[in-house]
Chains A and B, each alone.
Chain A
Amino acid sequence: MPWKDGYTTSDEKTLADRDITWPDRHQCAFVLVVDLSVASRPEGITPSDLTTPSSQFGAQVGLPSLLEVLKRFGISATFATPAVMAELDPEIIGTILAEGHEVAAHGFKHEDVSQLSREEERSRIEAATDSLTRITGQRPAGWYSLPRQRDPFAVGTVSPHTIELLIAAGYTYMGNGLADDIPYYWVADVDTRSSLLTLPYYYHFDDQFFLMFPPPGLGSGLENPKPFLTNCLQEFDAQHQRGRYFSMVLHPHIIGFGHRMRLLETILSHVQEASGVWNPTASQCAHYWQTHYPADSVLHLEPSIWKDYPGSLS
């Protein structure tokens, strides 16, 4: 009998607000993620994705503007980087690192791995890791599998093997999971208690689902900056009050335009004015969590009481 297999990926209960502390008595953590993918389809980044005015805008205008704003506000970010994007433009990766940001892996080409064989997925993780290691000069600590705008579910795609393959490849954190709003352990194998620290993601704090969304061909392309702004500000305030964690995801080709940059400045000003905000990169946050809340001590792994019945889900 598998451990609540297919239903839960971690413990039955989260850590209570009162049990969470951040370094140097900070009140909450703020992790900013920049997604460098322009993939529109499950196959990942294709030549047609890269040869659009939007992609050109992201690389030439959006990204430099975003880096400028981050520098001006003194914010560290984590760049979820498909290996092919780093290969195509290694210089910008150097700039990102030089400005104190983190470069994490975001697939080989941000492909959907859920239908791949275990071996094929393993070799892609290896290729992406090798590529980013060579270009950045160090092994990426984190791996992302963020959603694409046209995905049927705004959650990101993984396979049943992804977490164990990432552990085997030496990754120390998975960048996006939805089972909590603080870092949590995603259990790969309950018998060996192997797990991978996972940082929270939620599509309500991801620019691509509010700004000209649904995308052309799928819907009417509604521009909803205010709901996006309100969601980010209210979640930040609520999580700050609870002493937890807030993370948002930005895409240079989306957030980089006109009024949207102003929206970002409003959010960053708000974060800046709040007291006791710790702004680590994702790997700094993961390192802190693994040191202060190691899986060995916080992961309970309650025994399953799930039963099999005829005519019911197994």
Chain B
Amino acid sequence: MTGKATLDLQALREAVQVYRARYVHLDDFTYPPGTRIAVNLTLDFDTMLRRRFSHEPIMQLAKGEFGGRVGIWRLLELFESHAVKATLFTPGRICELYPQALAAALEAGHEIADHMWEHQVPADPDLEYDHLVKSTEALERFTGRRPVGTRSSHTAAFLKQLGYLYRSDGVADHLPYYVADAKGENMLLNLPFHYAIDDAMFFNFGWIESGPSGQRLADPESVLEMWWEAFERLYDQGSYLNICLHPFISGRALRIAMLDRLITKMNAIPGVWFPTCEELARYCLAHYPPPSNSP
């Protein structure tokens, strides 16, 4: 190889080495005896709060309102009917918008975790920290417990500082894994979720400024089939599945019916565990702790 090509390759190698060094994959991960797969049902209970920043129209906000008024209640009923637990990734401000639903979720034994104060991570670090503290404290005041998980891109150092145990964002593995920040510090457990197992990708018109040309409207039957195939494959491998649901999307009657069929099928076979994210995170931390030399 000539000089320039060698330099190019070296730069790529260094970049990837530094990046890969941030990850700890749990190659020998197994569940407790009798469990083949953990399925985390996760609700992003944001009711489209973020859309306020984009100044989206009134009707669009009402679409999100459906999640708080109607959808969340149906999802709670669905989980109760199957005796499964879920994790609600909840922006702190939802405590002020939908206190009744949040109280019902808490009462039912679901986990309330963070989903950003107002469903966004401010660019300014001081304001970011301020938002994370506000959200953490709002959820703590409401639930009586400090949240230990987040679905956000919040700075890992801030999350560690505030006692967070895990994040659920991004998918660098099928299984839970540890990842450090860009400086190689603040290693945090990640419970991966894939956009292919996210209701918003199939049923929500105009996902984040995509407009009519980027629409993706599917029917529940085709999504059920796809998610079931993902589940079967991961079940065979003794792996992990995180199903991301939005109350304003999955709370629609036709999709509750679809999720009812999906959970019924999953529950009918042995070894399917529906923990909260916190339960799974504590299992990982206890049995597969981050390397002792980890930052």
> Which of B11-19, B126-134, B184-192 interfaces with chain A?
B126-134
Fill in one digit per residue for A1-42: 1 if any B CB lies within 8 Å of its CB, else 0: 000101111111110100000000000000000000000000
Q: How far does the Cβ of B208 sit from chain A's closest Cβ, in whole Å?
A: 12
A side interface size, CB within 8 A: 62
Decide: B217 and A242 in contact? CB cutoff 8 A: no
Decide: B59 and A178 in contact? CB cutoff 8 A: yes
- Given the contacts A12-B100, A178-B66, A313-B52, A209 and B215 also touching, CB distance less than 8 Å: yes
B residues in contact with A231, CB < 8 Å:
219-220, 254
The residue among B130, B222, B252 with the most chain A CB atoms within 10 A of its own CB is B252
Q: How far does the Cβ of B27 sit from chain A's closest Cβ, in whole Å?
A: 40
Decide: B97 and A7 in contact? CB cutoff 8 A: yes
> Of the candidates B53, B58, B257, which one forms a contact with A9 in the assembled complex, judged by CB atoms under 8 Å apart?
B58
Of all chain B residues, the one with the shortest Cβ separation from A162 is B58
Decide: A11 and B69 in contact? CB cutoff 8 A: yes
Does A166 make an interface contact (CB < 8 A)? no
Decide: A313 and B118 in contact? CB cutoff 8 A: yes
Q: How far does the Cβ of A183 sit from chain B's closest Cβ, in whole Å?
A: 13
Residues B56-89 near A (CB distance < 8 A)? 56-63, 65-66, 68-70, 73
Fill in one digit per residue for A234-247: 1 if any B CB lies within 8 Å of its CB, else 0: 11011100101000
Decide: A311 and B130 in contact? CB cutoff 8 A: yes
Residues B237-271 near A (CB distance < 8 A)? 252-254, 256-258
- Cα–Cα, bound, A204→B130 (Å): 39
* Residues of B in contact with A, size category: 35 or more
Fill in one digit per residue for A115-152: 1 if any B CB lies within 8 Å of its CB, else 0: 00000000000000000000000000000010001111
Decide: B220 and A234 in contact? CB cutoff 8 A: yes
B residues in contact with A13, CB < 8 Å:
69, 73, 100-101
B residues in contact with A14, CB < 8 Å:
69-70, 73
Fill in one digit per residue for B91-114: 1 if any A CB lies within 8 Å of its CB, else 0: 001001111110000000000000
Decide: B252 and A202 in contact? CB cutoff 8 A: yes
- Given the contacts A12-B68, A151-B212, A214-B213, A181 and B253 also touching, CB distance less than 8 Å: yes
- Cα–Cα, bound, A309→B131 (Å): 10
Decide: B57 and A12 in contact? CB cutoff 8 A: no
Q: How far does the Cβ of A176 sit from chain B's closest Cβ, in whole Å?
A: 8
Does B117 make an interface contact (CB < 8 A)? yes
> Which of A93-101, A218-226, A281-289 interfaces with chain B?
A218-226
A residues in contact with B65, CB < 8 Å:
7-10, 178-179
Does B227 make an interface contact (CB < 8 A)? no
Decide: B61 and A6 in contact? CB cutoff 8 A: yes
- Cα–Cα, bound, A12→B122 (Å): 28
Decide: B62 and A179 in contact? CB cutoff 8 A: yes
B residues in contact with A180, CB < 8 Å:
66, 69-70
Decide: B62 and A312 in contact? CB cutoff 8 A: no
B residues in contact with A158, CB < 8 Å:
57-59
B residues in contact with A153, CB < 8 Å:
56-57, 59-60, 205-206
Decide: B69 and A230 in contact? CB cutoff 8 A: no
Fill in one digit per residue for B31-60: 1 if any A CB lies within 8 Å of its CB, else 0: 000000000000000010100110011111
- Cα–Cα, bound, A105→B93 (Å): 38
Does A293 make an interface contact (CB < 8 A)? no
- Given the contacts A180-B70, A305-B96, A230 and B118 also touching, CB distance less than 8 Å: no
B residues in contact with A218, CB < 8 Å:
211-213
Fill in one digit per residue for B214-233: 1 if any A CB lies within 8 Å of its CB, else 0: 11011111100000000000
A residues in contact with B118, CB < 8 Å:
312-313
> Of the candidates A9, A242, A306, which one forms a contact with B62 in the assembled complex, judged by CB atoms under 8 Å apart?
A9
Q: A12-B69, A226-B219, A306-B96 are in contact. List 6 more A-B contacts (CB 8 A).
A: A7-B97, A156-B59, A179-B66, A204-B252, A218-B213, A238-B254
Which B residues lie at the A interface, using CB under 8 A?
47, 49, 52-53, 56-63, 65-66, 68-70, 73, 93, 96-101, 117-118, 122, 127, 130-131, 134, 203, 205-206, 211-215, 217-222, 252-254, 256-258
Query: Lowest 5 A-B CB distances belong to which pairs?
Result: A238-B253, A155-B59, A230-B219, A227-B219, A234-B254
